[in-house]
């Protein structure tokens, strides 16, 4: 059986389900997959050192998560115009021509949205966070035909940089920078958290409850826990929910295909992951 060595570089990833996803996907495809969690601060190493360890240590590929999705671009010899415009990478495969990057957060969000909402337009969307995952989601929203994307980030310069990157590809989608989520959410159809607030080990909530008034759907990029304070409030407000777990699932399927060349059925993998959770809980 072919062995495939994979890993994830990021901070606060102890609760990540990525190892289960890739190992189970491997089993479905007849592959022996190992998947390691690589946390630079815990290892007492820099991101650059950990990346080099993976590149030179027999890894087929790695996922990259917060806060390294932008920093990894400098390690790619030829990232490509689309990836450079997006400004963030979460998937790297090592081959004979050097590290090759992709952003499966972008493709994964688009797939998750279509799986949940069909051909509906995202409409007017208010999004907190313009970092790595926020960039990917914003580009996906453009591809999905969003009417307007309202960006809000604690560092306004990040929102401005993302807006500048989006404008040449906006294709009719209006891009607006807002000073607060309350302002961004006024008469918005969708509300998105693309910050790390709410994730295990971080906590908090970037979305004030009043921002949910009048909205139709909500998405949280955080998936550990799946039901964050934000998504729980959105459910109470009767919004249609797209959870971070859906992004996790679909971006993982795209990354696995890049790593191995194998396409995994989403519903089959979902059932396998659910069974794994039940076994762990028993």
Both tokens assigned to 180: 């607060």
Maximum alpha-carbon separation in the chain: 55
Could you confirm whether 223 is annotated as catalytic? Answer: no
Q: What is the DSSP-derived secondary structure letter of residue 78?
A: -
| CA–CA distances in Å: residue 162 to residues 10, 159, 167, 184, 237 | 22, 5, 9, 16, 30
| Contact (CB, 8 A) for 229 and 198 | yes
Q: What is the DSSP-derived secondary structure letter of residue 36?
A: E
| Contact (CB, 8 A) for 276 and 18 | no
Q: Element (H or E) spanning 22, and its range? A: helix 18-28
**Which one of the listed residues 66, 68, 223, 245 is annotated catalytic?**
68
Give CA torsion, residues 224, 115, 23, 77, to 10 deg.
Answer: -90
- DSSP assignment of 9-20 equals E-SS-TT--HHH
Catalytic residues: 68
């Amino acid at each position: 059986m072919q062995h495939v060595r994979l890993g994830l570089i990021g901070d606060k990833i102890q609760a990540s389900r990525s190892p289960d996803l890739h190992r189970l996907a491997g089993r479905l495809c007849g592959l022996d997959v190992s998947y390691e969690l690589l946390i630079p601060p815990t290892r007492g190493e820099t991101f650059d050192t950990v990346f080099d360890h993976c590149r030179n240590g027999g890894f087929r590929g790695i996922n990259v998560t917060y806060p390294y999705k932008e920093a990894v671009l400098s390690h790619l010899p030829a990232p490509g115009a689309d990836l450079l415009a997006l400004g963030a990478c979460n998937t790297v495969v090592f081959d004979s021509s050097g590290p090759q990057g992709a952003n499966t957060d972008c493709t994964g969000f688009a797939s998750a949205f279509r799986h949940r909402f069909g051909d509906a337009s995202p409409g007017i969307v208010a999004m907190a966070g313009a970092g790595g995952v926020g960039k990917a989601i914003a580009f996906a929203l453009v591809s999905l035909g969003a009417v307007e994307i309202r960006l809000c980030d604690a560092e306004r310069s990040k929102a401005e940089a993302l807006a500048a990157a989006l404008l040449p590809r906006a294709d009719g989608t209006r891009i607006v920078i807002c000073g607060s989520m309350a302002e961004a959410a006024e008469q918005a159809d969708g509300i998105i958290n693309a910050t790390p607030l709410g994730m295990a080990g971080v906590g908090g909530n970037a979305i004030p409850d009043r921002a949910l008034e009048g909205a139709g759907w909500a998405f949280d990029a955080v998936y550990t826990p799946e039901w964050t304070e934000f998504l729980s409030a959105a459910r109470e407000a009767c919004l249609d929910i797209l959870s971070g777990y859906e992004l996790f699932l679909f971006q993982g399927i795209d990354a696995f295909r890049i790593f191995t060349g194998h396409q995994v059925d989403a519903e089959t993998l979902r059932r396998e992951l659910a069974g794994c959770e039940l076994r762990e809980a028993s």
